[in-house]
Amino acid sequence: MIGLDANVLLRVLLDDDPIQSPMARELLGRLTRVRTGYINLIVLMEVVWTIRTRFRGKSAEIHTALETLLSSPIFVLQNRDQVVAALSLAREGRHGFADALIGYLNGRAGCEMTWTFDHGAPSEAGFQSALR
């Protein structure tokens, strides 16, 4: 398994650099089902936040990028089940991916709830307003 940084993934997903994008495609082309690329949660969130900034918060681009990574057999994602659940909740359009992922990860860690001041945080992912 090979660890992947956000900048390598972003060069392929965005195809925005005439030198680094082809290099990143070549690197990822070396990965196989046996020699996979590992994407940890910090890298995944860097990808999400960069795409959100680039596309001014448009969820469709974020969802497409996440679906691309999740559907490829050459990538192993840290906490894959929680990433899938968070993406599913985010696709419904009521909550952001990051909030949903935070809630699901906290639940997996054994938290009974996640307190927040964010009124839009998803109760489905275990959030409870700290203002109550």
Torsion of CA 33, 14, 103, 105, to 10 degrees: 30
What is the per-residue DSSP string for 31-81? Answer: --SSSPEEE-HHHHHHHHHHHHHHTTT-HHHHHHHHHHHHH-TTEEETTHH
The number of beta carbons lying within 10 Å of the beta carbon of residue 71 is 8
Mean pLDDT of 112-123: 84
Structure tokens at 33: 């089902």
Condensed to tens digits (0 to 9), the pLDDT of residues 46-97 reads: 999 999 898 776 788 889 999 999 999 999 999 999 999 999 988 887 778 9
Structure tokens at 86: 């968070």
Condensed to tens digits (0 to 9), the pLDDT of residues 13-40 reads: 999 999 999 999 999 999 999 999 999 9
Whether 6 shows a pLDDT value over 80: the answer reads: yes
Residue 12 amino acid letter: V
The number of beta carbons lying within 10 Å of the beta carbon of residue 109 is 8
Which pTM value belongs to this model?
0.88
Please give the pLDDT value at position 57: 63
